[in-house]
Amino acid sequence: MQALTNAFKIIDQLTDESQAVDAVKAKVLMAGYHHRWHGQGYKTISTEAEFRLPIVNPSTGRASRTFQQGGKVDGVIEHEGRKYLLEHKTTSEEIGDPNCTFWSRLAIDSQISMYLLSSWQRCEKLDGVIYDVIKKPTTGLVQLVAGPMKLPNEKVTRERCLGTIRELKQFGSYYGIKQPETRIWDALEALDRGEKPRESAGMYSARLSSLVGKDPEKFFQRRLVPRLDGEIVDFARELWDVAKDIGTARKESRHYRNSDACMNWNTPCKYLGICSGHDTPDSSKWIKAPIHPELPSGGDTDVLTNSRIKTFQTCRRKHYYSYELGIEKVDQEERYALWFGSLMHEALRIWFDYYKGDDN
C-alpha cells in the first residue's frame, strides 16, 4: 500500500482546497489503478527520462545540422523478461472495447514511434509499448434524490437505496460508507434547513469508488502496441522530412495559417487575436515562456518534440508563435483536461517509482 500512499501524498501537494473534488477524483482513480494492476509482475526500470538525440536521415545516415529530437518518456518497464516503453494516458473516451476508436488510432500514433526510435538510437531496442490508459469519470457533484418509497410490509435494504437520502437517514451511510469519511451530516443538516442537499467531497468519493469498483475494466486498460522495424524506419523518414519542412518555413518565413485549427477542443486558439489582427506579439498581453514546458530542461527552438511536430502539422502560424517566438499569454489558463492529466501523470510516476527494481 506504500506506493498508493505516496501517490495520495503527491495529489495532496499538487491540489488546494478549491480543487478538493479533483483531488478526490484523482485518489479514487489511483486506488482503483492500484487494485487493478498491483502484483501483476511489472518491474519499473525508469520513469520520466528525458532524451535529446540527433535527427538522422535513414537513407544516408546524415544527421541534421539544425534540429534534434527530444522528449520525456513516461517509463520503461519489464514484464516476463521483456522490456517495454510505458505510455500513460487519461481520457474521457471509451476504452473498454478493443475495437473502439481510441485503440485504433494508436496504430499510427507518432509519439510512441518517436520514443521507440529514440530507444534504437540509444542502443536499447525495446519490445513494444505498454499503453496504460485511465478513463476519467465525467460526473461531478450531484444533488441527492429521495430514494425508493417503503411499501407496506416491505424491508428496504441498503442495496436498494444506495446514494439516496433514504440511505443517509436509515443507514447512516452513502454508497455503503459511513461517517466521518463521507461527511453525510452536511447533507442531513441541509435537509433540516429545508434545502436540497448536494454531495460533499467525501460522498463524491464514495460514489466514484462504487462506480469504479463495479467495472474496473471500463476505467483501466493496458494494451501491448507493437511496432514493426519497418514502421519505425518509416517514422524516421517522416521525422527527417518534417525537420526539413520546419527549417524551410523558418528560412523563408512561411508560417501560413490554418483556419480549421482556430477552435480545436471547442476552445479558441490562444493566438487567434494575433492572427486576426486584433493583437500583436509584442503587446503587454504576451510574455516569453519555456519553449518545451513538458521537458525538465525546457528545451530550445532547435528541439523537435512530438507536441511541436503535431502543432506544426496542425497550424504553422501557431507553431511559429509557440516554438519560434516562444510567447505565452500572460493570463492564459491551462485547459482542465491537460491539468488533470498532468496531476494523474505525477501520481502515476510516484506509484511506479516505488517499484523500481522490484515487481509490483
pLDDT tens for residues 267-319?
Answer: 899 999 999 999 999 999 999 988 998 888 777 899 999 999 999 999 999 99
Domain ranges within the chain, ordered by starting residue: 2-136+216-235+337-354, 158-198, 252-332
- Measured torsion, CA atoms of residues 107, 108, 112, 118, in degrees rounded to the nearest 10: 120
Give 140-170 as a DSSP string. Answer: ---B-B--PPPPTT-PPPGGGGTTBHHHHHH
Cα Dmax for the chain? 85
Q: Which CATH class is domain 2-136+216-235+337-354?
A: alpha beta
Peptide bond into 180 cis (omega under 30): yes
For the entire predicted model, the pTM comes to 0.90
pLDDT tens for residues 131-175?
Answer: 999 999 988 899 988 877 766 667 778 888 899 988 888 888 899
**Greater model confidence, 168 or 86:** 86
**For residues 318 and 258, what is the distance between their CA atoms, to the nearest angstrom?**
9
How far is CA 352 from its chain centroid?
16
pLDDT tens for residues 49-60?
Answer: 999 999 999 999
Average pLDDT, the chain: 91
